[in-house]
Amino acid sequence: MFHRAKLAELDRDDAILETAADAADAARSSGTTRAAFLTRGGLMVGAGLGLGSLPIALAGAQGGLSSGDVRILNYALTLEYLEAAFYADALKRAGLRGNVLAFARTAHGDEQAHVDALKRTLGGKAVKRPRFDFMDATGSQDAFLRTAMTLEDTGVSAYQGQAPNIASRDVLAAAGAILAVEARHAAWVADLIGRGSDPSPAPDAFSPALDMNAVLAAVRRTGFIQ
Amino acid sequence: MADIHPTLDELDRDGALREAGARVDPITRGSFLRRALAVAGGAAAAGIALPALSPGAALAQSGSDVDILNYALTLEYLEAAFYAEAVSRGALSGELATFARTVAGHERAHVLALQRALGSKAVKRPSFDFKGTTGSQDAFWRTALTLEDTGVEAYQGAAVNIQSRDILTAAISIHPIEARHAAWIASISSRGGTSPNSPAPQPFNPARTMDEVLAVVRSTGFISTMAGATPSQGMTSQPAMTG
């Protein structure tokens, strides 16, 4: 039976605390700068990224982001920074081949597009990209696959946990568009590992959600964020 | 036999949905929240199998949420029937058989959860004719891919219109499962070298409106008879069956 690792089990030291604190600071400071944000209004996710027509208009055009939405978007950005960096590192050093290489290239491009879209939307309120060290997780194809599945499963649960807290309809639409892609990645990598049986690409009829604290604590324990 | 092109309005043949929406039960949101579904965090950590949309939860739903849930239920009826037929016909083997068995169970669980949430306001299950698409591996995976992609787009498009936080929470626990199904079948099909389908073709998944999705469903011709439909509504085959 394949052991479906939780992020917490990837365990290491501490690090993301700072990033989480930065995100909280950004959220607090955003509460009074709605007017400043509005001057950057009209942002479209992916605009100028060569991604074609995206159905996602983020809230800049709709009257500014609430401080709660800024916090959620920075949380999402932190996770996307992590994922994008993970795939970039794996493409450099994990010796990926065949379908696994195709997956990593696709997922890397997707996560980078998510980072770009979130940064563009947050503008000056975006948290900075942390420094990462993926250690052994990007040292081999096997380690890469297992870590990728855990990160993607966590990404799905993280977006799912925040969706009901999102104030802006546009941000919710964008979160849904990203959530579905994280779920696609999660299923794809599970299928690459287990050929559809173990681990299953769709292990349950209903997807579990995770709250922000649980996800951040788990990410912190991976030690991936320096 | 004329093509049947049911819309949700036709499913709601006696206006039950609209009526239901108009007489929202005066349960307070607070009490509804307390007895409604299990949400992010605790329930998930406990590995729940159902989002626990409580029986009769529809009483506290807005009319539009009832419509959205019945729309989702219609799509889930379609998917569940498709996979059940594919499994029972026995034309699938290997990974496709595993996929069909697994997904059949998921879609059935979605149907049950939505029916429980809607209670007496749930639309009836239509009759289906899958036109041979469950009888061969090739036709099956192509159809499954379309149905699952459509399911993802449907939930995504509907989510932003949901009024109730609890209904939204439930809907987005199903949405990523449809996405997992879509990626899984694409991965199987591309591994065989018979399909260029990427399990994740775009960085942002597209959404579709209810009208767009229903047009896709109509174009399949898979819904052959609405339960309880009458000839005057354009249904030509089965006599009306009262619910």
For tokens 């794809």, the residue is A188
Burial B182-211 (b: 16+ CB within 10 A, else e): bbbbbbbbbbeeebebbbbbbbbbbbbebe
Stretches where chain B sits below pLDDT 70 are: 1-61, 192-195, 226-243
CB pairs under 8 A between A and B: 192
Q: Residue B60's pLDDT is what?
A: 56
B72 vs B8, B213, B216, CA distance in Å? 10, 11, 14
Q: What is the dihedral of CA B218, B223, B228, B230, to 10 degrees?
A: 60
All residues of chain B having their beta carbon less than 8 Å from the beta carbon of residue A174 are: 204
Alpha-carbon distance of A205 to A164, in angstroms, equals: 20
All residues of chain A having their beta carbon less than 8 Å from the beta carbon of residue B200 are: 106-107, 110, 181, 184-185, 188
Hey, are the CB atoms on A184 and B180 less than 8 Å from each other?
yes
CB A178 within 8 A of CB A138: no
Domain that holds residue A111: 7-222
User: What's CA B136's distance to the chain center, in Å?
Assistant: 23
A124–B contact, CB cutoff 8 A: no
For tokens 């855990």, the residue is A150
Hey, are the CB atoms on A185 and B200 less than 8 Å from each other?
yes
Mutation target for B interface from A207, A210, A211: give the one with most B CBs within 10 A: A207
User: Looking at the domain assignment, is residue A1 inside a domain?
Assistant: no
Q: Residue A3's pLDDT is what?
A: 72
User: Looking at the domain assignment, is residue A2 inside a domain?
Assistant: no
Q: Strand, helix or coil at A201?
A: coil
Q: Strand, helix or coil at B121?
A: helix
Q: Render each residue's pLDDT in chain A as its tens digit; 226 residues.
A: 677 766 655 533 333 334 444 444 444 444 333 222 222 222 333 333 333 334 344 544 445 899 999 999 999 999 999 999 999 999 999 999 999 999 999 999 999 999 999 999 999 999 999 999 999 999 999 999 999 999 999 999 999 999 999 999 999 999 999 999 999 999 999 999 998 778 999 999 999 999 999 999 889 888 999 8
Give chain B's length.
Answer: 243
Q: Considering its fold, how many domains does chain A have in total?
A: 1
Question: Which ipTM did the prediction report?
Answer: 0.81
- How far apart are the CA of B239 and the nearest CA of chain A, in angstroms? 35
Alpha-carbon distance of B127 to B226, in angstroms, equals: 6
User: Looking at the domain assignment, is residue A206 inside a domain?
Assistant: yes
B83-136 pLDDT, tens digit each: 999 999 999 999 999 999 999 999 999 999 999 999 999 999 999 999 999 999
User: Looking at the domain assignment, is residue A204 inside a domain?
Assistant: yes
Alpha-carbon distance of A45 to B40, in angstroms, equals: 26
Q: Residue B193's pLDDT is what?
A: 58
Hey, are the CB atoms on A208 and B173 less than 8 Å from each other?
yes
CATH number at residue A217: 1.20.1260
Hey, are the CB atoms on B160 and A173 less than 8 Å from each other?
yes
Q: Which class is domain B8-225?
A: mainly alpha
Kindly list the domain boundaries of chain B, sorted by start residue. 8-225
A153 vs A99, A180, A195, A221, B36, CA distance in Å? 19, 11, 17, 16, 25
All residues of chain B having their beta carbon less than 8 Å from the beta carbon of residue A76 are: none
User: Looking at the domain assignment, is residue A190 inside a domain?
Assistant: yes
For B10-26, what is the HEC assignment?
HHCCCCHHHHHHHCCCC
Hey, are the CB atoms on A172 and B159 less than 8 Å from each other?
yes
A40-96 pLDDT, tens digit each: 222 333 333 333 334 344 544 445 899 999 999 999 999 999 999 999 999 999 999
B181 vs A174, A187, B73, CA distance in Å? 21, 8, 17
For tokens 């709660």, the residue is A68
For B212, list phi and psi in degrees, rounded to 5: -65, -45
* Beta partners for residue B223, in sequence order: B128
